[in-house]
Structure 1
Amino acid sequence: MATDPQQACFEAGIKFGSLYHQFAGTPVSPDSTRSLETGIAESIENQPHCEAVTVEVDDEAVAADIDHENGYTELSGHLMEVEMRIEYADVTVHTRMEMEDGYPRMKLVDVETDEGEQPA
């Protein structure tokens, strides 16, 4: 059986998989980045144990990716940074997705219990 910290980390992974694979490919333009950020965050926050999601889409990177006259590009990991806070039982998990070596890395930033201690 999984420990609470393991389950909390699993929940974080589920949220990242859902976020990335649900929204990658969504049409985005510099005019729609704020509404897309809000829509993504609110969508993922509906999931169990997800307490907070912050999505930041880089307007300049979106504009630079537009290579046709229709005025949009497709959302991809290199265009956004994401942070999430997952709470499961007495465990809080903080995560982040950011570019690392040309790849959108999803990683655990911190795992802590209600006592503020790192689990063993």
Structure 2
Amino acid sequence: MQISQRVRAILITPNNHLLMIKRLRENFAPFWVTPGGETLPTDGSLEAALQRELRAQLGFGIQVEIANPVLNLEHILEEDVVIQQWFFICYLGAGGVQPALLNSDASIYALETVHLAASALRTLNI
């Protein structure tokens, strides 16, 4: 069985909001994902993979403090492929973000901040 590891940032901004990526795809309802992505064999650690993904998605000058992983989820993608996702609490440093590449041929990726209140989080299609 093949295991594909992903890293995700539960990224808290200096004003205590959650930074999310809103994905817009034709013929689909908008949905939100946390920043992050797939690990590479050259990353060396989950934290290094997350730093690489955050720099690529949010800008190379980004300053992020990564804490320990707080959640690990697994789901079967195909009969012989398991996706393992590691979620880390992260804190965005001063200076904010400068998105590197948030658009592709099939999707538009928009950065949005969401208040950490449960009522605000319930409104998201995650």
Same fold (TM over 0.5): no
Larger helix proportion of the pair: 1
Of structures 1 and 2, the one scoring higher in RCO (CA 8 A, sep 6+) is 2
> TM-score scaled by structure 1?
0.32
Larger strand proportion of the pair: 2
Larger Rg: 1
> TM-score scaled by structure 2?
0.31
